């Protein structure tokens, strides 16, 4: 694996984690206002 | 520093991703993830969300039904005006009895119209700090509006022979009051009612989402204040303590009017609702069961007032609504 590939892989992992956290954050805020669980039901 | 150590540091620097790039990617992806929550909706929702266009029919807006500024309704008339009779589908807007507008339900009303029903969205006087509007006055406004909605449809060439009434949250509460309390006075049979997250009764022990179940002086005062505002009449704290408030609240307690003649019902509630009490919906369910009403009660176990975390159940709920519409108010 080249250096560039390693860098891109790290950035991809960071992006995926951030994307999931972004969705979870919205769900958490909505749950705070309306009620609901952080996990279960809809995927993410 | 030795040459060897210097080389090691340089090597390490080269191999790591610049921190600013990592932060930038994180922020962009985080924002995209958050936006995707709103932007991406399940494919099936498109089946129930129709954009209004003149190809669907005729839309008459802000037709008056009373003296109040808010006493107006929109009428969605389907393209085909050749039928002998039509089913009327009324949908009442949400907003905690203090906000909202019929225009917010345009997609739902357009969907109902696209199915061949005459659809109507009705506004009602919202409670403010300066007026005495209440759930009771709002329910009475809806009761006064229905004959005029039917008359307006008839005048436009769409005679109505049956109706369904529905809504979301506050609108659902008002729809249930009409369906169970006022249907006997309706100009046409009320054959079905549906909706979600509407409060159907006012037992203080159910209202744990606001702490009214605590049985303390403070919680009883809070219950008296909230229930008085909803009823539009002063309920003394003594009535909260001795339980006589239940009878006082009956005019706006839809579940209290359920009889074996109640119209078929489809409802949905979120287990973790923070806005209206989930426990009250269990009383509604029990009343429907005891009276052998044809109903579907769909509980969203991961959701609150927005029914926002259980898309698969949302799909079942909409399918049930469509099934009951086809069964009890088929388009001929």
What is the token pair recorded at B304?
Answer: 């609150």
Interface test mutation site (partner A, options B24, B32, B33, max chain A beta carbons within 10 A): B33
**Residue-range definition of the domain harbouring residue A21:** 1-32
Distance between CA atoms of A35 and B14, rounded to whole angstroms? Answer: 47
Inter-chain residue contact B22 with A10, CB threshold 8 Å: yes
The residue that leads in pLDDT, B41 or B142, is B142
Q: pLDDT by residue (tens digit) across B50-81?
A: 999 999 999 999 999 999 999 999 999 999 99
Question: pTM of the entire structure?
Answer: 0.92
Distance between CA atoms of B33 and A15, rounded to whole angstroms? Answer: 9
The CA distances from residue B182 to B117, B165, B188, B257, B280, in Å, are 22, 11, 11, 9, 21
In chain B, the domains with their CATH numbers are 3-39 (no CATH), 43-201+249-328 (3.40.50.1820)
Residue A15 falls within a domain, yes or no? yes
Chain A residues contacting B via beta carbons under 8 Å: 3, 6-7, 10-11, 14-23, 25-27, 30-31, 33-37, 39-42
Q: Which of B156, B45, B64 is nearest to B111 (CA)?
A: B45
Find the mean pLDDT for residues A3-19. Answer: 93
Asked if pLDDT for residue B176 goes beyond 60, the answer is yes
Residue A9 falls within a domain, yes or no? yes
Asked if pLDDT for residue B224 goes beyond 70, the answer is yes
Residue A43 falls within a domain, yes or no? no
- In chain A, the number of structural domains is 1
Asked if pLDDT for residue B7 goes beyond 80, the answer is no
Contacts of B39 in chain A (CB under 8 A): none
Find the mean pLDDT for residues B292-306. Answer: 98
User: Please, are residues B258 and B267 in contact by the beta-carbon 8 Å criterion?
Assistant: no
Interface test mutation site (partner B, options A1, A12, A29, A41, max chain B beta carbons within 10 A): A41
Which residues make Cβ contacts (< 8 Å) with residue B326, sequence separation at least 6?
Answer: none
The CA distances from residue B147 to B108, B185, B213, B278, in Å, are 22, 10, 40, 33
Distance between CA atoms of B247 and B293, rounded to whole angstroms? Answer: 23
* ipTM associated with this complex: 0.94
Size of interface A-B (CB pairs under 8 A): 116
Q: How many CB atoms lie within 10 A of CB B287?
A: 21
User: Please, are residues B163 and B87 in contact by the beta-carbon 8 Å criterion?
Assistant: yes
Find the mean pLDDT for residues B175-184. Answer: 98
Q: How far is CA B26 from the centre of its chain?
A: 37
């Amino acid at each position: 694996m080249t250096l560039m590939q390693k860098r891109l892989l790290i950035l991809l992992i960071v992006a995926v984690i951030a994307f999931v956290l972004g969705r979870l954050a919205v769900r958490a805020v909505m749950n705070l206002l309306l009620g609901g669980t952080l996990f279960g039901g809809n995927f993410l | 520093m030795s040459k060897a150590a210097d080389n090691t540091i340089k090597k390490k620097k080269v191999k790591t991703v610049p921190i600013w790039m990592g932060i930038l990617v994180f922020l962009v992806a985080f924002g995209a993830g958050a936006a995707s929550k709103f932007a991406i909706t399940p494919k099936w929702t498109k089946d129930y969300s129709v954009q209004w266009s003149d190809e669907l029919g005729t839309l008459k807006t802000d037709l008056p039904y009373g003296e109040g500024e808010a006493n107006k309704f929109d009428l969605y008339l389907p393209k085909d005006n050749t039928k002998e009779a039509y089913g009327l589908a009324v949908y009442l807007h949400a907003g905690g009895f203090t906000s909202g507008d019929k225009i917010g339900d345009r997609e739902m009303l357009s969907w109902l119209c696209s199915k061949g029903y005459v659809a109507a969205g009705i506004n009602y006087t919202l409670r403010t700090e300066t007026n005495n509007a209440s759930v009771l006055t709002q329910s009475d406004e809806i009761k006064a509006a229905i004959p005029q909605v039917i008359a307006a449809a008839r005048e436009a060439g769409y005679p109505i022979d049956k109706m369904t009434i529905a809504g979301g949250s506050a609108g659902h509460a008002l729809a249930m009051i009409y369906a169970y309390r006022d249907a006997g006075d309706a100009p046409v049979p009320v054959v079905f009612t549906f909706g979600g997250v509407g409060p159907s009764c006012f037992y203080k022990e159910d209202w744990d989402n606001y702490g009214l179940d605590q049985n303390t002086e403070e919680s009883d005062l809070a219950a008296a204040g909230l229930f008085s505002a909803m009823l539009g009449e002063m309920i003394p704290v003594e009535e909260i303590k001795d339980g006589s408030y239940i009878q006082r609240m009956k005019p706006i307690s839809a579940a209290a009017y359920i009889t074996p003649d109640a119209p078929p019902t489809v409802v949905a509630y979120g287990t973790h609702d923070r806005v209206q009490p989930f426990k009250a919906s269990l009383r509604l369910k029990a009343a429907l069961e005891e009276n052998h009403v044809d109903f579907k009660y769909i509980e969203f176990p991961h959701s609150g007032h927005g029914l926002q975390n259980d898309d698969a159940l949302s799909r079942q709920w909409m399918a049930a609504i469509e099934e009951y519409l086809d069964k009890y108010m088929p388009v001929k």
